[in-house]
Amino acid sequence: MFTKVKLNVIRPYRILLGLVLVSVIHINSYSQGRFLIVGGGNEKETTNSWSTPAYKWAAEGKRVAIISTSGSGYPDYFKNWCNAKDAKDFIVANSTTANQPALYDSLTTYQVIFFAGGDQWDYYSQYKNTKLEEAVNAVYISGGTIGGTSAGMHILSETLFTAENGTVYPDECIIDPKNKYVKLANDLFNFFPDLIFDTHMAERGRMPRLISFVANKALTDNTKIIGLGLDDMTCMTIDEFSVGTVYGTGVATIVKSEPSNFTQNDGRLISDNVRITQLLEGSTVNMKTMEILTQNMSLTITPKTKGENSLLTIVAGGEGSNGNNNTLLDFWAKLAAPSQTTLIITKEVNAYVTDLKNKVEQLTGKSAIVVIASTTNGSSTTVLSQILSCGRVIFTENEDNIASTFLQSENGQTLLNQIKSQNLPVAFLGSDARFIGKSVVTNLETEYASYDGKMNFLPGIGLLSNTVIIPETFSNSDFYENTITALPYAMILDSLQYGIWLTGDNYVCYSTNGSKATLLGGGKAPVLLLTNNGDIIADFSSKTANGSTSIKPRQVAGFSEMTFTSFDDSKEITVGNSVAIENIEKDHNPISITVIDNEVTFSEISLPFSYRLISIDGKLIDSGISYMPHISIPRNALTSPQVILLNVSYGKNTQTFKLIFPTK
């Protein structure tokens, strides 16, 4: 414990000595003490709960001071479950109390100082430059442990979100990471240089918020910081050697980037190659370098295919009947289509569907036909005729089982074939965007579905075979956890490469452009994309809140590293491999082709046509007659890099193309 000296009796040599001591304190403040940082949530009074082992690590045999502005209720937990020698609440509601010498004298007799949850603006504004701040530093220098949960964790990183203007929500952050609510400071504690903390990550959908905090520093003053966020009921112990260990039911999220990874367009956050890591219980990290030391994860996840290969035009987003889809529909209606007649596939005719039908007819100048996705219509000859003559399709307000019912019917299969073979512009509005990809989460709007381990995953339509889409991500705070956690969970569950978060304020367009498959965003907010670039280590949470194995763990996934991208209409994202196409033999009536992955699509070709696929050394790979304007190259022929000759005969014409597939 330090001896305090009255300022009016300090001699010049004592001032010099004080400066030396301050320097020593600052230099050593990163290595001597310990930390317990907590993402929030209720502590559970069981021996093997999410909280007890870590809190016990910090408090066993020690005196614990708990600081808050109104009382915490923590003393009994620390004493009864964590074997603290003593634990006491210190109510410090204003700067006058925080600056009392007696408070300093009392706090420095404790070995653990723990900040309870509350409002970090109260902590930051009332505790900065006070005796309380000095006491915390003194306890740390003497080898003590400093901790905090929720707001109490926020104030411990060097850069901190002050909440001066109140909290800020993730959707507000991605629309403008420098909005008036994003108030950051770096003049309280300097325990974790170049880091910023966030809490309640899964529960409140805060991954994009943490990324936006990092982006704010990059955009404002070109500063590089690292983000560390903890889910509620998740914590980290950090020992005197700066080794951080994760405990709890969720994950520790680490955000790494360079300032050059961020820009803004009309306020929107535009980012690329932001590296995201999520660590499960038992994983460890070097808190000085933020390098991962151990990963308590056992699955190696490699996407089953590389990129997307669907030759389609898909627009998805908006908020269905609950929101305004005008911007999306305006964009969709301007896309080229073989016919302007639109089919609206839905579960029932209601006021919303009637309004949508009228709006589509106004935009396209042609009729729109509503088709109920029922078993009866799955075999209706009238519906079949409508499918074969339509040029556009909209899916909206459909039941979760549409992929396994109507779309598995004869007419449903014909509709999907028409969409694929004719490249019809198809729109999925609101929650129907879930159906596009490989997996569908059926109960995103069930409160606590992820928390209780009850999210259901079903096969989707698979128009995009390597992607999962989560729509309406920030439409209701009750479901933030479901929408944020479901995406990486599904990516790992099905070994997918891409995950797309959509909000009610944006939409995404997938299309093919030459030999590329691309994504383009639109709307008020950027589109958020998570990408697995190859062999990552991953796993699912197995820890429950009270430590019992009789209940399901949260549906939260950990992974070694994925990349985060946010984009709008100013930034085209390539998601399909580019194939070089060389027309080496053509007649007077040449055709053109597009190649995405192993799919070849022909334009201006007479049907049927015959084809031969020949390897560069002259061996026949495949041949046949096609009655549709596309063929597939056998995947076993695509050892990369690879060159394949494609010879096509149609009518009296022939053409040969050289296809050069890149190294994957």
CA atoms within 13 A on the CB side of 301: 28
Chain segment 306-350, per-residue pLDDT in tens:
788 778 899 999 876 666 788 999 999 999 998 889 999 999 999
Candidates 266, 201, 271, 274; CA nearest to 557 is: 201
Candidates 305, 370, 380; CA nearest to 598 is: 305
Confidence of residue 585 (pLDDT cuts 50, 70, 90): low
DSSP state of 89: E
Chain segment 53-96, per-residue pLDDT in tens:
999 999 999 999 999 999 888 999 999 999 999 999 999 999 99
Going by C-beta distance under 8 Å and a sequence separation of 6 or more, which residues neighbour residue 239? 34, 245
Q: Give the pLDDT score at 653.
A: 85
**CB of 201 closer than 8 Å to CB of 250:** yes
Is pLDDT of 507 > 70? yes
**CB of 198 closer than 8 Å to CB of 156:** no
**CB of 296 closer than 8 Å to CB of 280:** yes
Q: Which of 13-17, 111-115, 260-264, 318-322 has the lowest mean pLDDT?
A: 13-17
* Alpha-helical regions (H) of 344-422: 351-364, 381-389, 410-422
208 cis-preceded (ω within 30 degrees of 0): no
Here the tokens at position 150 are 């929720």
Confidence of residue 21 (pLDDT cuts 50, 70, 90): very low
Helix-helix angle 351-364:326-333, to 10 degrees: 40
Mean pLDDT over residues 338-367, rounded?
A: 94
Q: Is the model more confident about 597 or about 412?
A: 412
CATH 3.40.50.880 matches 34-296: yes
Q: How far apart are CA 15 and CA 27, in angstroms?
A: 18
Is pLDDT of 22 > 80? no
Give, for 133, the enclosing helix (H) or strand (E): helix 131-141
Q: Give the pLDDT score at 603.
A: 79
Helix-helix angle 131-141:12-28, to 10 degrees: 60
Domain(s) labelled CATH 2.60.40.3080 in the chain stretch across: 580-661
Query: Positive or negative CA dihedral for 312, 313, 319, 321?
Result: negative
SS (H, E, C) 242-263: CEEEEEECCCEEEEECCHHHEE
Q: How far apart are CA 254 and CA 371, in angstroms?
A: 46
Give, for 300, the enclosing helix (H) or strand (E): strand 299-301
CA distances from 166 to 119, 121, 162, 180, 492 (A): 9, 8, 8, 10, 35
Which CATH number is 580-661 given?
2.60.40.3080
Q: What is the full DSSP assignment across 18-53?
A: HHHHHHHHHHHTTTSSEEEEE-------STTSSSHH
Q: Average pLDDT, whole number, for the chain? A: 90
Going by C-beta distance under 8 Å and a sequence separation of 6 or more, which residues neighbour residue 549? none
Judged by phi (left if over 0) then psi (alpha if -120 to 50, else beta), residue 53 lies in alpha
Domain(s) labelled CATH 3.40.50.880 in the chain stretch across: 34-296
pTM confidence score = 0.86
φ/ψ of residue 344, rounded to 5: -105, 110
